[in-house]
Structure 1
């Protein structure tokens, strides 16, 4: 297995995209109101997609991450 510190940022984006597929499966049949009302689902989804430990993202993506977290 490769050292995580040498992993290209694009692979982190791939991980996020894969997670989006899981979120779609987890929330199937749930409307936006229900999704937003369930803080557990909402928070888990947000943190799963925009991971707190991804310092490898280029500055533009970091800015988008920070904006989404505020």
Structure 2
């Protein structure tokens, strides 16, 4: 079974998934953006995943205080 293109079923599935999410924007200086992107690349993860992991670590630190 090969690739059948972007079907209406796939589009509907993607929409249901994306409707569960929300988007945030963060303003950073260009050099901070470069560092964030570099760190994500080094760990082979997306910038979004890097931010979520950092938040989870911070949350754990708060819980251990």
Structure 1-normalised TM-score?
Answer: 0.27
TM-score under structure 2 normalisation? 0.28
Q: Which structure has the greater CA radius of gyration?
A: 2
Higher relative CO (Cα under 8 Å, sequence separation at least 6) belongs to 1
Choose between structure 1 and 2: higher helix proportion: 1
